[in-house]
Amino acid sequence: MSRNLTADLASDLRRRIVDGVIAPGAKLPSENTLISEFGVSRTVVRSALTRLQAEGLVETERGRGSFALTPPPDGPQQSAGSRPVATLEDRLWQLEFRIAVESEAAALAARNHTDRQLAAVRKAFEDFTDSAAHPAHAMKADYEFHRAIAAASGNPFYSDCLGSLGQTMIAMPRARLVGGGEHDAREHFDQVVQEHESIVAAIAEGDGPSSSAAMRSHLANSRRRLRAAAPGNA
């Protein structure tokens, strides 16, 4: 019976996170609230949260509560032949892939962009810069920034590739999503803004090699930050 109650509670919370009812970075209801809402024991609540932690959907911090993380894309949202991205290792592999793809897309964007496409890249950069206080908005703006660069490459296969990866390709460190040290979170955000700014400047100047190098540096730094934020490396 306990196992079924745990599965039911985990399923309900999972659905809320995947559907965006509980946005990335948002705090889950407290243990006492879940106990009251579902009529279950504290053991059931903690077992359900442990299950969601194992799935990479929830981060729990002692004394602060549990927070939603970025859900990996589920089956229906994936294109044929695509891989689920559910673990840290998956995300690191994905970033390695993105370094190869997006560095070349940035170089092509510097050479091929139209005025309208460059304006879209700049607008996405501005939206990201303005989203410092809203992690969920920052993730969307970050994704749109990379999509705008792919579109500016002039090659639709780059746009299709990033479209198939989806917004969950943005691997924001858990510390920022769950509101870890405010100073550290802001420092991380400002670093990403500077990296994005370097990419925009190089593309605007039509400098392919510099655009490629700036994108490669940005994604390599993202991979380093993700590794550093992994449990056990704090």
Report CA-CA distances (Å) from 52 to 1, 13, 57, 73, 186: 19, 8, 5, 15, 27
Whether the pLDDT of residue 205 is over 70: the answer is yes
How would residue 213 be classed by pLDDT, with cut points 50, 70 and 90?
very high
Show the CA angle centred on residue 17, arms to residues 16 and 21, nearest 5°: 55
| Cβ atoms of residues 161 and 111 within 8 Å | no
Query: Which burial class, exposed, middle or buried, applies to 16 when counting CB atoms under 10 A from its CB (0-12, 13-18, 19+)?
Result: middle
Give Cβ neighbours of residue 194 (< 8 Å, ≥ 6 apart): none
Q: Band the pLDDT of 21: cuts 50, 70, 90.
A: confident
pLDDT at 234 over 60: no
More confident residue, 23 or 50: 50
What tens digit of pLDDT does each residue of 141-186 get? 899 999 999 999 999 999 999 988 877 787 665 555 544 455 567 7
> Phi/psi of residue 65, each to 5°?
110, -165
Q: State the pLDDT at residue 198.
A: 98
Residue 185 near residue 176 (C-beta atoms within 8 A): yes
- pLDDT class of 2 with cuts at 50, 70, 90: very low
Q: pTM for the complete prediction?
A: 0.68
pLDDT of residue 53: 81
Rounded mean pLDDT of 191-214? 97
Q: How confident is the model at residue 230 (pLDDT cuts 50, 70, 90)?
A: low
Q: What is the largest CA-CA distance in the chain?
A: 64
The stretch 119-125 carries a mean pLDDT of: 96
Q: What does the radius of gyration of the chain's CA atoms come to, in whole angstroms?
A: 19
How far, in whole angstroms, is CA 77 from its chain's centroid? 16
For the ranges 1-5, 136-140, 213-217, the maximum mean pLDDT occurs at 213-217
**Count of CB atoms situated within 10 Å of the CB of 14:** 19
pLDDT tens track for 78-112: 443 456 666 778 888 999 999 999 999 999 999 99
Q: What's the pLDDT at 215?
A: 98
pLDDT at 104: 98
pLDDT, one tens digit per residue, over 39-93 is 899 999 999 998 888 777 887 777 778 888 766 554 334 443 456 666 778 888 9
Give 5's pLDDT tier (boundaries 50, 70, 90).
confident
